Structure 1
C-alpha cells in the first residue's frame, strides 16, 4: 500500500480495534483491552499522518474520493475512529484527550455531513448516483451515532450544566442517526433490487448495515443510563423501545450477511484476500458485542447481555485474523520474490 492509494475508509481499522478493546474491557479482560487500545492509538496516529500527507501531496485524488458516490461516505470512518477512541479513553479517566478527540470527530462530522450529500445532489453526475450506493453509505449513520456515544460517555464526568448540554447533544445526534439509517436503508435496498448485483458488488462494507444498527443500540443504551435531564426524560420511552427493535433487526441481519458472503466467495469463487475494507466486518462484530452487553444492562434483559459477552470472542477472533492478514499484506512487498509461494498478485486495496 502507498499513501497515494490510501483507502478512504482505512480508519475502520481504528474503529474495529477500539471497539474490540471496549468489548474486552467489558468482559474483564483488562490486559488484552489495554493492548488493543495501544494498537488502536498507534494506528490512528499513523493513519492521520498518512491522510495528511495524501491531502498535501495528492489533493486531486482526495477530492476524487470525496465526490465518488461509492467511496465518499467512507471518510466518516475518521469521525467514528475519533469517537471510539474518545469513548475508550474516557473509561480510563483521560477526559482531556477524550474531549479533544470527540471535538475533532464532531468537527469532521459537521464538515462531511453537508458537503458530501450536497455535492452528490447538486453536482454533475457522469452516471446515476444510485449505481454508487453501497454499504459504505451506512458509515454516515455510524459516524453520526458515534458522536452521540462519545457525548453520552463524556456526560458521566461532566458538571451539571455541561451534563445538560451533552445529554441534549446525545439525544439529538441519536435521533438524526435513526432517520439517516432509514434513509440509507431505503437507498441501499432500492439499489440492490433495481440494479444487477454482481459478486464484486457485495463488498465487506455491507456488514456496516448491521454495524449501524448496533452502534444505534449502543448510543440508545448509553442515553438510557444518563443522568436525568429534560432531553433524556422526554425521549426515554422511545429510545428504549427502538433500541430493542433495532437490536432484534441487527441480529436478524447477521445470518443474511453470512449468506451473502457464502454466495460471493463460495458459489462465485471471489478470492478471499485481505482488503482494507475487511475492517468493515470486524467493527460491526465488535459493536454488536458491546451494544448487546450495554443494552442488556440498560433494559434488564440478561439474555441480551449474555449474547454480547459470548459474541466478544467472535469479534476478537475476527480482529485477530484481520490484523494478521493485514500485517502479511503490508509485509509482502518487502519479501524477495523468490521467497514467496506461488505467483500471487499484489494485494488489492479497493473495496
Structure 2
C-alpha cells in the first residue's frame, strides 16, 4: 500500500478529508440539497471511523512515531484536524437534530483540543531543537486556529438548541472564539516571518497554506454562530466586536484567495512541481467549503445579503474541488491495492 495510506506512516492531518467532506455536506444542506448532503455525510462518517481506527492502531503499535510527529514543528499541528473533524461532524449532526451524538463529538473534540493545545507548544518550546523552530513553520500551524474555532462553533450550535436558557456553552463559544482570533494573529506573524526571512522553495508552499484562508473562514463562521445565539451576558457584551471582526476577517480571507492561487501557479506552473494526490490536498478543499458556509451564515447574521449570495455561489467551487480530490484519492488507493496484489502474487 502507498506510504501515504500505511498506518505506520499515517499523515497526522488526514482528518482534513473528514473536515472537507463534512463542511461540503453542511453547505449543500444549507442550500437544501438534502440528498447530496446526506451522501457526503455518509462518506464523512465512514472516513472518520476508518481514520480513527488507523490512528488508534498507530498509537498502540507505533507510539514512538506518534510522539515524533507530536514533536515535529512541521507536522505536529496537523493533529488538530482530528479536533476540527469532530466539531464539523458535530455541527452537521446538530442540524439534523441528533443532539446526543453531536454532544459526544463535541466533548471528544474539546478533550483532544485541550490535550493538543498544551502538549504541542510545550514540546516545541522545551524539547530538543536540532534546528530553529522557525524554519519548520508552515501552513499546518493555522490548523491550530481551525481546531480552536471549531470548538467555538460546536459550543454555539449546541447552545442554540437550548432556546431560552443561558448555558455555559455561550461563554465557552465566546472565549474560544477570542482565543482563536489571538492565535490567528500569532500564527500569521510567525508564518509571514518565516516566508520573508528564509528562502521559499517550490516544495515549501504545500497545500496546507490554504488553511491561512480556512482559518479566517471558520473564525467568521464561529462569529456568525455567536451572533445568532440567544441573548446572554457573554454574547451581548461582545456582539459589536464579534460582528465587526467577522466582516474584517471575511474581507481579508477573500483577499487571500487570489494570493494563494498565485502561489499554486508559481509552484506547479512555473517551477513544474508535479501535481499528484497527497492527503494534504484536503487542506485546500476544506477552506473552500468553509468559505462558502461562513459567507452564507455571515450574510444572514449580519444582514449582508451580497456576502450570502457569494457563499451560495462558492459552494459549487467547493463541491467541484471535493469531487476532484476524492476521485484522485480513490485512484491512488486503487493503484496502491493493485501494487499490493502484484507484490503478493
Same fold flag (TM > 0.5):
yes
**1:158 maps onto 2:162 in alignment:** yes
What CA RMSD, in Å, does the superposition of the two structures yield over aligned residues? 1.3
Q: CA deviation at 1:241?
A: 0.2
Q: CA deviation at 1:336?
A: 5.8
Q: Structure 2 vs 1, CA of residues 230 and 43 (structure 1 numbering), >3 Å: closer, same or farther?
A: same
2:202 to 177, 199, 204: 199
State the alpha-carbon separation in 1 of the partners of residues 319 and 270 from structure 2: 27
Residue 349 (structure 1) aligns with: none
Contact 2:207 2:284 in 1 (8 A): yes
Measured against aligned partners, the alpha-carbon deviations of 1:215-254 in whole angstroms (never above 9, x if no partner) come to 0000000000100000000000000000000000000000
Q: CA deviation at 1:77?
A: 0.2
Residue 176 (structure 1) aligns with: 179
> Hey, which bits of structure 1, 4+ residues long, moved more than 4 A?
336-339
**1:64 maps onto 2:68 in alignment:** yes
**1:140 maps onto 2:144 in alignment:** yes
**1:50-89 to 2 correspondences below 5 Å:** 50-89=54-93
Q: CA deviation at 1:32?
A: 0.2
Q: Structure 2 vs 1, CA of residues 124 and 94 (structure 1 numbering), >3 Å: closer, same or farther?
A: same
State the alpha-carbon separation in 2 of the partners of residues 274 and 213 from structure 1: 25
Unaligned runs of 5+ in 1: 340-351
State the alpha-carbon separation in 2 of the partners of residues 102 and 47 from structure 1: 18
Measured against aligned partners, the alpha-carbon deviations of 1:55-95 in whole angstroms (never above 9, x if no partner) come to 01111111110000000000000000000000000001000
Count of aligned residue pairs for this structure pair: 338
Residue 291 (structure 1) aligns with: 294
Residue 278 (structure 2) aligns with: 275
Q: Structure 2 vs 1, CA of residues 9 and 119 (structure 1 numbering), >3 Å: closer, same or farther?
A: same
State the alpha-carbon separation in 1 of the partners of residues 126 and 234 from structure 2: 35
Q: CA deviation at 1:333?
A: 2.1
Q: CA deviation at 1:158?
A: 2.4
Q: CA deviation at 1:157?
A: 1.6
**1:91 maps onto 2:123 in alignment:** no
SS of the equivalent of 2:8 reads: helix
1:127 to 128, 131, 137: 131
Q: CA deviation at 1:164?
A: 2.6
State the alpha-carbon separation in 1 of the partners of residues 87 and 340 from structure 2: 41
Q: CA deviation at 1:331?
A: 0.9
Residue 246 (structure 2) aligns with: 243
Q: TM-score, normalised by structure 1?
A: 0.95
Contact 2:93 2:99 in 1 (8 A): yes
Q: TM-score, normalised by structure 2?
A: 0.96
1:218 to 209, 215, 221: 221
State the alpha-carbon separation in 2 of the partners of residues 45 and 164 from structure 1: 31
Contact 2:163 2:230 in 1 (8 A): no
State the alpha-carbon separation in 2 of the partners of residues 176 and 214 from structure 1: 15
